[in-house]
């Protein structure tokens, strides 16, 4: 008998609660509770929390001594990344039957609640000491993209659909599609405009997936523009100031929707990018652009309004953009995707996101396109 099963059984007997009654309170069958007490079944987070509450214990006292499992996973990170080291924290999820390990970036401003740590790296694979059960890993949704509001979506899903959890992978739109095409994540967020047609995301998804059956699900419309210092001390008027000498910008990496918009503006102005101070200074996300402006490392940068607002910056809008979620059609019936879709079709969540970020969420959760 596993230690946690014995502890649950003893706690139940000491409180004179029958197996049938505890199972009812925890919302599971008596057979399932019997499997837990005999150590045959390791419950998920939601059931563990209910059992601990009904027995007047903490999850740690009931389940905390479970030995960590060593597993092999596909490592999703650039080969040169400093995160690919022994002891690096990772998130874990299962995509298409493959176990995926995603190292947490050291640039994050919070300590991540990791699912495990790397023990050994073998090329594109890694041995990981997992802190999560197989059921918890299977309930994890991996989303690649650049929208900082994914943290709000993750919080909503955790509160309303436990034990399903969301792990964001901060990637530019093009790189998010590449990760999805490689089977490394479940969902890719994208805002890539076709300059010839003005349409968003359709051409980029077709190029990445060919004839594979894909869905584009609406998430939000947002404002893309220039983040500037409060009070606009440099007198910046718009993208035309890219041609002004003495101004410094901060850039996004190639493949980002904001980088594409910046490069289009530079091309329209007929300016040589090499003459723009800071053009070669690249950061990995919208919030990072705003942070660079806020600390005085740049005079302005292309980002979204919510990032500028987060750092108390000024903002010059350039255009509205559509941010969609690309999802393989075969994934739509999985438990994590269904939990996410329930959130996206919730009017209450749409209002919450709109009020917090200023997004237009009127088309959230709607199928924008079926491809392939």
More confident residue, 73 or 104: 73
Residue 174: what pLDDT? Answer: 97
Confidence at 105, pLDDT banded by 50, 70, 90: low
Residue 83: what pLDDT? Answer: 60
Domain ranges of the chain: 3-63, 68-138, 141-372
CA 117 to chain CA centroid, Å, is 19
Return the CATH fold of 3-63. 434 Repressor (Amino-terminal Domain) (1.10.260)
Quote the pTM value: 0.75
pLDDT in tens, 133-190: 888 888 999 999 999 999 999 989 988 887 888 989 999 999 999 999 999 999 999 9
Residue 75: what pLDDT? Answer: 87
Checking DSSP bridges between strand 165-170 and strand 214-228, what pairing results, if any? unpaired
Q: For the chain, what is the mean pLDDT? A: 89
- Residue 12 token pair: 């139940």
More confident residue, 111 or 170: 170
Question: Alpha-carbon distance 236 to 16, whole Å?
Answer: 72
* Closest-CA residue to 369 (of 209, 175, 144): 209
Confidence at 2, pLDDT banded by 50, 70, 90: low
Residue 106: what pLDDT? Answer: 39
Confidence at 39, pLDDT banded by 50, 70, 90: confident
Question: Alpha-carbon distance 40 to 42, whole Å?
Answer: 7
Residue 107: what pLDDT? Answer: 39
* Closest-CA residue to 285 (of 169, 155, 187, 142): 169
Burial of 164 (0-12, 13-18, 19+ CB in 10 A): buried
Residue 351: what pLDDT? Answer: 92
Residue 272: what pLDDT? Answer: 95
pLDDT higher than threshold 90 for residue 224: yes
Residue 238: what pLDDT? Answer: 96
Residue 57: what pLDDT? Answer: 82
The residues with which 228 forms a beta bridge, in sequence order, are 300, 314
Return the CATH fold of 68-138. Beta-clip (2.40.340)
Which CATH code of 3.40.50.1240, 3.40.50.620, 3.40.190.290, 1.20.1290.10 fits the domain covering 141-372?
Answer: 3.40.190.290
Confidence at 304, pLDDT banded by 50, 70, 90: very high
Lowest mean pLDDT among 56-65, 67-76, 253-262: 56-65
- Average of per-residue pLDDT across 50-69: 74
Domains 68-138 and 141-372 share a fold: no
User: CA 342, 189, 133: angle at the middle one, nearest 5?
Assistant: 60
């Amino acid at each position: 008998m596993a230690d946690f099963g014995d502890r649950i059984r003893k706690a139940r007997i000491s409180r004179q609660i029958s197996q049938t009654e505890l199972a009812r309170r925890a919302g599971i069958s008596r057979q399932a509770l019997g499997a837990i007490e005999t150590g045959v079944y390791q419950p998920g987070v939601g059931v563990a929390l209910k059992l601990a509450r009904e027995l007047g214990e903490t999850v740690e006292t009931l389940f905390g001594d479970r030995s960590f499992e060593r597993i092999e996973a596909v490592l999703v990170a650039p080969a040169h990344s400093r995160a690919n080291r022994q002891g690096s924290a990772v998130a874990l999820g299962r995509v298409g039957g493959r176990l995926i390990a995603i190292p947490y970036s050291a640039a994050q401003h919070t300590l991540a609640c990791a699912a495990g740590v790397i023990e050994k790296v073998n090329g594109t694979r890694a041995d990981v000491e997992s802190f999560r059960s197989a059921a918890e890993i299977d309930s994890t949704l991996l989303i690649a993209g650049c929208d900082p509001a994914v943290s709000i979506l993750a919080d909503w899903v955790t509160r309303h659909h436990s034990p399903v959890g969301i792990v964001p992978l901060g990637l530019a739109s093009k790189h998010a599609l590449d990760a999805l095409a490689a089977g490394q994540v479940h969902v890719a967020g994208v805002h890539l405009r076709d300059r010839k047609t003005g349409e968003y995301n359709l051409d980029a998804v077709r190029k990445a997936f060919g004839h594979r059956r894909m869905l584009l699900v609406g998430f939000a419309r947002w404002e893309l523009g220039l983040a500037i210092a409060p009070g606009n001390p440099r007198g910046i008027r718009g993208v035309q100031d890219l041609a002004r000498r003495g101004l410094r910008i901060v850039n996004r990496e190639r493949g980002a929707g904001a980088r594409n918009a910046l490069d289009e503006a530079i091309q329209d102005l007929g300016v040589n990018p090499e003459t723009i101070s800071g053009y070669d200074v690249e950061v990995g996300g919208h919030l990072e652009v705003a942070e660079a402006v806020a600390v005085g490392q740049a005079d302005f940068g292309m980002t979204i309004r919510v990032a500028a607002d987060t750092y108390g910056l000024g903002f010059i809008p350039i255009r509205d953009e559509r941010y969609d979620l690309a999802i393989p059609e075969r994934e739509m019936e999985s438990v994590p995707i269904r939990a996410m879709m329930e959130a996206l079709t919730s009017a209450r969540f749409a209002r919450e996101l709109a009020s917090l970020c200023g997004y237009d969420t009127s088309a959230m959760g709607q199928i924008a396109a079926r491809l392939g």
